[in-house]
């Protein structure tokens, strides 16, 4: 695979600071762990993003789209293709009445703050989720009483080869629990339009504060992590099953099942991706032995061992 060739071709359209060879992904993910990306590309606008996708398609290299890296682990052997990061350079937020259109790289917190500023309710649930709105629309992120499915009006999508921009309605996104149609298509979220409702600013602020206080109390936010590690199994909670199996505080190397919230695997310092995946397997096996339930990771794990 010709990463050097791709680097040279992309360099014609963007600055060298936007193209990072052998990028240490621990610096770009909330787990603060993991291997390198052969090439990390950070487009500064949609034209550069389209160009990047065209080059990737032409050269037929594997690629992965990331947002804020808060639900992502790159294995220690690294990702052998191109990781394209859609971040703060693609994060414009525009409000029209009760609709908010945000570019994919906008942080959920910033979108929620904008909704508060405009007196729009319905997005309070997302204010404490540390991801981008593109990642959230892709994953159908949710918390407490809310999920993206309930507020998305439409999602603007770029095809894999960068040639086509089109929109999907919330229904066409085929949302399920932490699931959307884009997971099968491997396409790219460019922007997300939310439909909110007029509300009272004080009430919105109170709700955001309340939800964030609950997070601070219940979640190990002082350690690097990727949030809840496992999906919620039907009719149960991953954290409860893990706690019942007596696994709180269990560790492998620098990875530990949080003492505060058993659904979180945290990096207590210097965890490798293989510490984290070894602990994941240990938890999966023990919970399966005890309950017959197989926990599946919610986070995305990519790259080579
Ligand atoms: C402390 C903590 C608390 C959390 N709490 C919650 C919570 O309450 N609820 C919840 O749902 N999640 C939670 N998360 C997980 C995470 O924040 C969400 O899943 C978030 O939506 C991921 O967004 P991201 O931009 O970081 O995506 P990334 O981690 O960068 O990527 C996640 C997935 O989204 C895809 N993706 C990202 N951007 C795009 C794009 N523009 N186009 C196409 N695909 C894209 C990636 O390919 C990948 O498959 C938490 C994480 C942490 C660290």
Cβ of 25 less than 6 Å from ligand 1? no
Check if 86 has its Cβ closer than 6 Å to any atom of ligand 1: yes
**How much distance in Å is there from the Cα of 136 to the middle of ligand 1?**
5
CATH classification code of 89-204: 3.30.465.10
Q: Which two tokens stand for residue 152?
A: 């998305």
Split at pLDDT 50, 70, 90, the class of 14 is: very high
CB-based contact 36:25 (threshold 8 Å): yes
Q: What is the DSSP letter of 56?
A: H
Q: With 80 as the cut, is the pLDDT of residue 1 above it?
A: no
The domain defined by 220-298 folds into: 3.90.78
Q: Where in the chain is the domain with CATH 3.30.43.10?
A: 3-85
Tell me what pLDDT residue 145 has. Answer: 83
Is the pLDDT confidence value at 296 over 80? yes
* Mean per-residue pLDDT of the chain: 97
Q: Which of 30, 91, 127, 228 is catalytic?
A: 228
Q: How far apart are CA 98 and CA 255, in angstroms?
A: 43
159 is catalytic: no
Can you give the pTM of this predicted structure? 0.97
CA dist 75 and 72 (Å) reads 10
Q: Which residue has the tokens 């992502």?
A: 72
Q: pLDDT tens digits, residue range 84-137?
A: 999 999 999 999 999 999 999 999 999 999 999 999 999 999 999 999 999 999
- pLDDT bin (cut points 50, 70, 90) of residue 13 is very high
User: Where in the chain is CATH 3.30.465.10?
Assistant: 89-204
**Mind listing the pLDDT tens digit for each residue in 177-223?**
999 999 999 899 999 999 999 999 999 999 999 999 999 999 999 99
- pLDDT of residue 267 exceeding 80, the answer is yes
Question: What is the side-by-side strand order in the sheet with 36-41?
Answer: 19-24, 36-41, 79-85, 63-66
Q: What is the DSSP string of 112-151?
A: HHHHHHTTEES-GGGTT--SBHHHHHHHT-EETTEEHHHH
Strands 93-96 and 188-195: unpaired
Active site residue 178: yes
For CATH 3.90.78.10, list the domain ranges present in the chain.
Answer: 220-298
Q: In the CATH hierarchy, which fold is given to the domain comprising 3-85?
A: 3.30.43
Q: In the predicted model, what is the mean pLDDT of residues 279-303?
A: 98
**92 φ, ψ (degrees, to nearest 5):** -65, 140
Strand 63-66 to 79-85 pairing? parallel
């Amino acid at each position: 695979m010709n990463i050097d060739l791709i680097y040279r071709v992309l360099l014609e359209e963007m600055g060298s600071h936007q193209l990072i060879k052998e990028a240490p992904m621990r610096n770009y993910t909330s787990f603060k762990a993991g291997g390198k990306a052969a090439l990390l590309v950070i487009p500064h606008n949609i034209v550069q993003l389209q160009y990047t996708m065209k080059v990737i398609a032409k050269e037929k290299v594997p690629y992965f789209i990331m947002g804020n890296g808060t639900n992502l682990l790159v294995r220690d052997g690294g990702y052998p293709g191109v990781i394209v990061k859609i971040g703060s350079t693609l994060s414009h937020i525009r409000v029209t009445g009760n609709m908010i259109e945000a570019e994919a790289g906008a942080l959920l917190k910033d979108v929620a703050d904008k909704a508060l500023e405009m007196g729009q309710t319905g997005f309070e649930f997302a204010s404490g989720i540390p991801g981008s709105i593109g990642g959230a629309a892709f994953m159908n992120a949710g918390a407490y009483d809310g999920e993206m499915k309930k507020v998305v009006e439409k999602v603007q999508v770029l095809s894999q080869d960068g040639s086509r921009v089109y929109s999907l309605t919330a229904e066409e996104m085929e949302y399920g629990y932490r699931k959307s149609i884009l997971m099968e298509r491997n396409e790219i979220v460019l922007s997300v339009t939310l439909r909110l409702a007029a509300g009272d600013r004080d009430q919105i602020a109170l709700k955001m504060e309340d939800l964030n206080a609950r997070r601070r109390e219940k979640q190990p936010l002082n350690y690097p992590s990727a949030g809840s590690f496992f999906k919620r199994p039907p009719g149960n909670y991953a954290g409860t099953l893990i706690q019942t199996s007596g696994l709180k505080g269990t560790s492998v190397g620098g990875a530990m099942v949080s003492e505060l919230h058993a659904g979180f695997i945290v990096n207590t310092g210097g965890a490798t991706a293989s510490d984290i995946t070894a602990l994941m397997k240990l938890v999966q096996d023990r919970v399966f032995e005890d309950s017959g339930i197989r926990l599946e990771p919610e986070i995305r794990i990519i790259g080579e061992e």
